[in-house]
Structure 1
């Protein structure tokens, strides 16, 4: 099966330690795919490798049919890959609106669907905070801003690393609602999470990574029904 993002046989090291072993999967256009696993399983390493922040020792990656193996982060961003890291990395000294204006750009084919006006409509919680420095936002507000900042670059693919981690339940529910809306609008999302419950109403399909290897693939509904797999790879 061909897809918008095709990853094949990816090996990644941190120094002398190998973290990923032959990771491969396909992300289709309009799909929301959950990459699930315990802490330390390799989720964040996978996301950083896809975003060009960690070099792959082996393997390949294709984006919209183009070989982007080894491409630097700025080139991947220009080609439509947007990455929201686990620690958000907002520009703390700049206002919410400035964070968005800094990131605003057309998509790789000139797409301009995500404008500042649409961001305010889609993220109403950010509207009264538009003049506030991003460093003074709560964790949940920063997460919303980080997702909004990624979207205003009109990406083809949104990579989200642990978007629910450490946030209050009401904020997690708001982010889940937002991601469901994005999925309904046809967005293509890869979501790295350890919280299956969070993913149930968001993603259509799931991968499980364990000890740096993809060990299971199914629909999210199929995974939720498989008690043995959940106990083996996702139980805390």
Structure 2
């Protein structure tokens, strides 16, 4: 396995008195595209919120490049190198596409600025033609691309994509998949939370399966593709 950039160890998360995650263990290697797969309510989004500091773990560790993120506020987690794209996109609707990108711009944790508006427009040509359009007037798929692009403007070490295919038309899902494969080829480390297994089989290099707040499987995407028992038990609808 590639050297781990993100490690989640023995992590428990509660919402009030209700425990949602039970000793989550997850490791993402540098340059990998890891799919965190599971049915609705399995704990995928809560895992992302635990990593991002939005739902702080009660027990366990979240490590990024060997540095603990435990107890850090979400803005400090972002500064440390975690780029989080939530499932509800959250663009600034009354601002232009370019304004949304500029709002997200910051140096990475080592001061690097690999992602600029110019590079974004090269990788996301659809946004280049919409740079003056209000973000609230974009389609759902266009907003999804804008949110991913805005997060990349923060030059993160790892990109968390929460349900990137949810609610989108099949053609747009294909475009999002092509974008993720392009980012993977560029060396971007990506963790995707999805219940759409078929989407992930086409974009991920590795997979972990979460069920009832616990990681029950972790291997390469090819191993998951060939494991009918795991797919039927945990991912079949």
State the TM-score, normalized to the length of structure 1: 0.98
CA distance in 1, matches of 2:93, 2:54: 21
What 5-or-longer segments of structure 1 have no aligned partner? Answer: none
SS in 2 for 1:111: coil
Q: RMSD value over aligned CA atoms? A: 1.0
CA distance in 1, matches of 2:232, 2:69: 36
SS in 2 for 1:186: coil
Pair 1:11 & 2:15 matched: no
Q: How many positions carry a matched residue from both structures?
A: 236
CA distance in 1, matches of 2:136, 2:88: 13
CA distance in 1, matches of 2:29, 2:112: 19
CA distance in 2, matches of 1:147, 1:111: 18
1:196 aligns to what?
197
2:73 aligns to what?
72
Pair 1:176 & 2:206 matched: no
Q: CA deviation at 1:145?
A: 0.2
Q: CA deviation at 1:38?
A: 0.4
Q: Deviations over 1:178-197 (max 9, x none)?
A: 11011111111101011111
Q: Detail structure 1 runs of 4+ shifted over 4 Å in the superposition.
A: none
CA distance in 1, matches of 2:71, 2:22: 17
CA distance in 2, matches of 1:106, 1:58: 31
1:210 aligns to what?
211
CA distance in 1, matches of 2:211, 2:8: 17
2:86 aligns to what?
85
Equivalent residue runs for 1:158-173 within 5 Å: 158-173=159-174
1:146 aligns to what?
147
Q: CA deviation at 1:146?
A: 0.4
Equivalent residue runs for 1:215-230 within 5 Å: 215-230=216-231
1:99 aligns to what?
100
CA distance in 2, matches of 1:228, 1:62: 31
SS in 1 for 2:42: coil
